[in-house]
Chains A and B, each alone.
Chain A
């Protein structure tokens, strides 16, 4: 009994340390965003003068709202495309035995390992020549490409978990392969698809390298890039409050997504498919 209590308190302390360590920077930003420009550098954790003016500022300036629109649009489209393509590929990899299956997986892994920085320069030139520079597709394409390997990996693991017999049962029940996938496999893979969706969305949402290099105007600039280029009141001030407020605003969608999908991710939907 005593041992157990000791163990539990030990775990509690460890967990507390982790939670504090990961939450303090976030809280710090939140606090910064609520400070007035005059007190922003006073070094205190709790603002002395609470204000929402930073939030008003960024939403009144067009730069941020445009960037937000771009971020949402680009991230959603890239993610949707990546997950759609990846589920087809992952399904084939999980189910079919075809020559070169291993090579495909290896190549996709290699793509994931590829340092993105080394691609930015060539892409910049290429995009300028073919007119993709500073456009949505100009970001969607690289995002999708880099998200695909990871998506294929996670999804094929999920598809492999689904008993093949379910699909065969559907076929015997009179389903075409397409129907079997849509009505039996896809619903069961929902947790996997949701998980992949979130991971890919966060990757696209948080990307900075491509966003800063392949865009120049509010045409396609996403929030991370826009924040970095926030104009101060004068050229000698850094708009710390605005940056903090913008950072808080872009964190919200991601948090919402995770909270929304958390149950799906956790729920093992395949329970009861076969004898448990």
Chain B
């Protein structure tokens, strides 16, 4: 059990590429910290630096208060679960799980006891004498977990441990990992590119982009109060809709309609330089829309009409896609997200912006028809059009320390 501290850590490769830039992050004892981000954002590199498989170019890494920068992996007392499990193919499950203990010269009967214990937790008892080649993907994954558990290390490091499993098994193992981690209370750093995994699993989530830490916080905070466009677009599925807009005093004008800034947001809204009009990017989560006919109290939001291009039924809900006349929101951060999702090259079938709304299953809306939709203005997200930084503080924090999140410098140009 130990605390892991990243102190201004940078990873620079010989060709000058910086995979991780000035990462400072504190993982308290017993916490499950998720490092999440698109591929190439440096999350795996950060994890491998903790493991000692990558050198640290700058900064200090502390495990349990001790600087471990120059320690070999074997002296760090950490266990790692690899994406492809990295089981030793020439050893049985039992030998695989006991390998670390054997190297540590633990007596045989104790190794046996610990391996049996781990096998019981992971439901591997009947497979102990089989070789990894004869196991299913899920079983291999559990062996990899078992190899980490028997060690009783000061920290678990997991590098996308579920990405090789099929969808159903992944959900199952996700719960399993969460359960094991909670019962063992071992500090864990878990790397994933899957925001669903991150949201469901983590005590706290650290979102990274291009080697830079974007935001750290509990899942609800990242979801409710994303600090910038990137985090807003990355967390949540389907992802947040972004529309260009304008903040004019207390009114937000954007293609769907003009909305007065709700009271709830007003307190958190950080006055831009000079007040007045400024360009913003408005973010609306699909789940903050609803079929207007279902909503009883429309006062909290705004209704508008839209032609539904595509309606996808999920059984429990609908995803309604419609286009909004507007310029496309262009932002490097959003393009990066689209690229990571492989959507960057998709042809844009619509002029303007595509918007997704998640509607209740009882909605009577039909594809191809005009529909009246409602959205919850209290959940509007406002971002600076230039910097992509959120204009809303994170509630409590912003009231006490409003300077914590300065909006980008420079007068915002009035959007047309």
Contacts and interface: CB of A to CB of B under 8 A. Distances in A.
B89 A269 contact: yes
Interface in B135-186: 135, 137, 140, 147, 151, 157, 164
B89 A173 contact: no
B154 to A, nearest CB: 13
A188 B132 CA distance: 13
A168 B134 CA distance: 23
Contact of A188 (B74, B84, B89, B157): B89
Interface in A159-184: 163, 165-166, 168-176, 179, 183-184
A270 interface: yes
B53 A172 contact: yes
B97 to A, nearest CB: 10
Nearest to A97: B14
Nearest to B83: A165
B133 A276 contact: yes
B172 to A, nearest CB: 17
B131 A272 contact: yes
Contact of A165 (B78, B82, B147): B82
A272 B87 contact: yes
B254 interface: no
Nearest to B14: A97
A184 B100 CA distance: 12
Nearest to A188: B90
A109 to B, nearest CB: 27
A166 B86 contact: yes
B73 to A, nearest CB: 4
B121 interface: no
A165 B86 contact: yes
A253 interface: no
Contacts of A175: 74, 103
Contacts of B164: 275
B80 A272 contact: no
Contacts of A270: 89
Contacts of A183: 99
Interface string A240-276: 0000000000000000000000000000011111111
Contact of A172 (B80, B104, B133, B135): B80
A273 B53 contact: no
B51 interface: yes
A192 B53 CA distance: 27
Contacts of B133: 271-272, 276
Contacts of B205: none
Nearest to B134: A272
Interface in B70-95: 72-74, 78-80, 82, 84-90
Interface string A198-216: 0000000000000000000
B84 A269 contact: no
Given A173-B103, A175-B74, A272-B131, A168 B89 contact: no
Interface string B242-256: 000000000000000
A187 interface: yes
Given A168-B53, A169-B80, A175-B74, A274 B103 contact: no
A179 B100 CA distance: 11
A172 B104 CA distance: 12
B89 A271 contact: yes
A276 B135 CA distance: 11
Given A272-B131, A272-B132, A273-B132, 16 more contacts: A165-B86, A169-B82, A171-B73, A171-B74, A173-B74, A173-B99, A173-B100, A173-B103, A174-B74, A176-B72, A176-B74, A183-B99, A184-B88, A270-B89, A274-B85, A275-B164
Interface of A: 163, 165-166, 168-176, 179, 183-184, 187-188, 269-276
19 contacts: A163-B86, A166-B88, A168-B73, A169-B86, A170-B88, A170-B99, A171-B72, A171-B73, A173-B74, A173-B79, A173-B103, A173-B151, A174-B100, A188-B89, A272-B135, A273-B86, A273-B87, A273-B89, A274-B86
